[in-house]
Amino acid sequence: YTEMGRFITGPYGALVTKAVHEKHIYKEYIGCDACAVNLMRPAMYGAYHHITVLGKENEPCDHTYDITGSLCENNDKFAIDRQLPLIEKGDLLFIHDAGAHGYSMGYNYNGKLKCAEILLSGDGSFKLIRRAEEPKDYFSTFDCFEEYSGLLKDERRG
């Protein structure tokens, strides 16, 4: 048997995230604006995903980093002890082979919202195929709070 998600769609997606934090202690850490909500496989079972620092593809990989997400959990890491070029705040990281299970394994733990999904075509054009979640999406299935339930109904009409 073949697990079709990884086989068919895995190689054809990427997670693009921005380096927003850095920590220099006994190790070098780079914190990203994405987290396990967006790609759970590395946090769940240590899955390897190649990472490219956009714009620095030809620079030497002479720095060792842990690339972390923004959850308050110690396993929210995209890479551990990974050799990469110098990463500075604002750099974009391209996490390869993320085309399977990103959205379907995603969750809203710790108040995180799922990101948008964009389809890149062979001709270089792109199209939004799933919008990013918004705070109102957290509450859209609640029926227990009468006041908020009414606000949602009004918002859906407008």
Residues marked active site are found at 72
Here the contacts of 60-68 (C-beta below 8 Å, separation 24 or greater) are 60/85, 61/85, 62/86, 63/28, 63/87, 64/27, 64/28, 65/28, 65/29, 65/30, 66/27, 66/28, 66/29, 66/30, 67/30, 67/32, 67/93, 68/29, 68/30, 68/31, 68/32
What is the C-alpha separation between 131 and 77, in angstroms, rounded? 24
What is the C-alpha separation between 22 and 86, in angstroms, rounded? 11
In a 13 Å sphere around the CA of 4, the CA atoms on its Cβ side amount to: 0
Nearest one of 124, 4, 22 to 68, comparing CA atoms:
22
Residue showing tokens 């030497």: 60
